[in-house]
Structure 1
Amino acid sequence: MTTMKKLGTHALSDLCLKTAYLLVNGGAETYRVEDTIERIGHSLGSDVRCYVTVTAIFIEINHQNYKFIKSRLGGTNLQMIDDINTMSRQLAEKTITGEEFTLHINHLYRNKRTTDFPFYIKAIGAGLVSMAPMLLYSMPLYYFIYCFFVGIVGYTISYYLSRLSMLPYADLFISGFVIALLAITLKDLGITTQYHTIIIGATMPLVPGVAITNAIRELVMRHAVSSMVKFLDSLLVASSIGFGIASALIIF
């Protein structure tokens, strides 16, 4: 196996920083990021220490080389996390070399994305998720259909506005507003009566369920700072959706 020692501690520290950055921005728990980076260092024959917060990542290589990089909350990208975890296991099992691992990480870091699904598949998935709450309310079949399309519209608005707007949480506010407006329109047209169930279902793809779960896991593992930051971000996401819905209900 070709080790990273030939590239020097600076190259190894850069590799570890990039890997940790991708994991943090993918929504991984901080304690898992630290453990993964330290295992990567061990696999490459170096003593690596890693400390991660939501806003910064610190790396120490062989007690002599120290580096840090700024990070930020980047939503959730489970595919990114899975790809990096898979490669780190392959590195530990020596089925890939250090150079191959570095090439993969540099590619992911350069593109800031991994294997992705086409938008239409994501939209259909959002529509299917929107239909699920109708099972709890035992609603007629046509409610499932309405939730499917309203959920797709809400997800589409959030998806594109998040790319176009630099204002955080604005896309969620507008999505919640449009979802509530569409549900109210269906009621006014006499198509539905329980429009609130459509609002509940259509907002499901926007709810930060994974982020809340990770925040709880962080708290259990005694990473209080990261846990509180993720809880706050999840609260702001939920509040933005709620304020958007409430605005539409008040206005219309």
Structure 2
Amino acid sequence: MKTNQVIEVALKAGEILLTGGAEIYRVEDTVTRICGSYNVRAECFVLPTGIFITVIDSEGNPVSIIRRIRKRTVNLEQVEKVNSFSRSLKDRTLSYQEAMAGLKDIAALDGYGYVLKLIVAGIAPFVYALLFRGTVLEACVSFLIGIVIYAIKEKITQAGVFEFFEYFASGVAAGALSTLAIKLFPFMDLYRIIIASIIILLPGLAITNAMKDALYGDIVSSMFRLTEAVFVAAAVGVGVAIALSVGLRWI
């Protein structure tokens, strides 16, 4: 395989990992592992928004390439598949066409179906409402609100609006729907329902990856992810606060 083809395969694998929610050290390790499988010496530097790779070609000249990452989601199935793919190259190297075809198949994995995602988005608030010593009715209301705010978030994501707005709009929806539920059933606890409902919006993976990046010495990436998590939490909180400031006036 030619050097530029090795770079393209490694870059595609790194892109899938980074957009799927992998840690920085995992992306860098996978890229260098793939290049090493084809006897190409590579240096890789990764940020949450970009991948930088430099290799030495057959003539001894350095070749660098950059890939800008604009979309980051959570798809741990893709992360696991790329990990397995990179390790399998140590035992059997693939041609450029085979490697790219395999990576494109992994990139096409969309996880679970939309209906199942909606159900799970409702189950998490349902369970947390009970965990916070809520009633079954409060858990059922949280279940419905969780489904609605997840659907809203997905629609905004598909529309291509900037990331933090989807969390803000979801926070507004959570606060408004919780307030409406209290208007219909005054004996329920408003704040318990809100807390349970917004659990699915909290940036748990971003905070976890930030801590792991820091432990592996990737301080810049760690600070980036922590800042992102703070902005996400703030967007959700501001959305809920606005909804409550309006809704509580007519409860």
Distance apart, 1:138 and its partner CA = 2.0
The structure 1 residue matched to 2:229, chosen from 216, 225, 234, is 234
2:102 aligned with 1:104: yes
Q: Is the 8 A contact 1:165 1:171 kept in 2?
A: no
**C-alpha distance 47-246 of structure 1, shift in aligned 2 (>3 A):** same
Q: How does 1:109-148 map to 2 (within 5 A)?
A: 113-148=108-143
2:19 aligned with 1:25: yes
The structure 2 residue matched to 1:41, chosen from 18, 35, 38, is 35
- Distance in structure 2 (CA, Å) of the matches to 1:204 and 1:55: 26
- Which blocks of at least 5 consecutive residues in structure 1 are unaligned? none
**C-alpha distance 54-137 of structure 1, shift in aligned 2 (>3 A):** closer
- Distance in structure 1 (CA, Å) of the matches to 2:15 and 2:160: 23
- Which blocks of at least 5 consecutive residues in structure 2 are unaligned? none
Q: Which residue of 2 aligns with 1:201?
A: 196
Distance apart, 1:191 and its partner CA = 5.2
Q: Is the 8 A contact 1:43 1:92 kept in 2?
A: yes
Q: How does 1:132-171 map to 2 (within 5 A)?
A: 132-171=127-166
Letter in 2 for 1:78: L
CA-based RMSD? 1.8
* TM-score, scaled relative to structure 1: 0.89
Identity percentage over the alignment?
A: 29
- CA displacement 1:3-60 (0-9 Å, x = unmatched): x3xxx10111111122212211222111111111111112223222211122332212
- Distance in structure 2 (CA, Å) of the matches to 1:136 and 1:215: 27
Does the residue aligned with 2:66 lie in a helix, a strand or coil? strand
- Distance in structure 2 (CA, Å) of the matches to 1:89 and 1:40: 8
- Distance in structure 2 (CA, Å) of the matches to 1:149 and 1:129: 11
Q: Which residue of 2 aligns with 1:70?
A: 68
Distance apart, 1:196 and its partner CA = 0.9
Q: Is the 8 A contact 2:13 2:30 kept in 1?
A: no
How many residues align? The count is 242
Distance apart, 1:165 and its partner CA = 4.1
Distance apart, 1:86 and its partner CA = 1.7
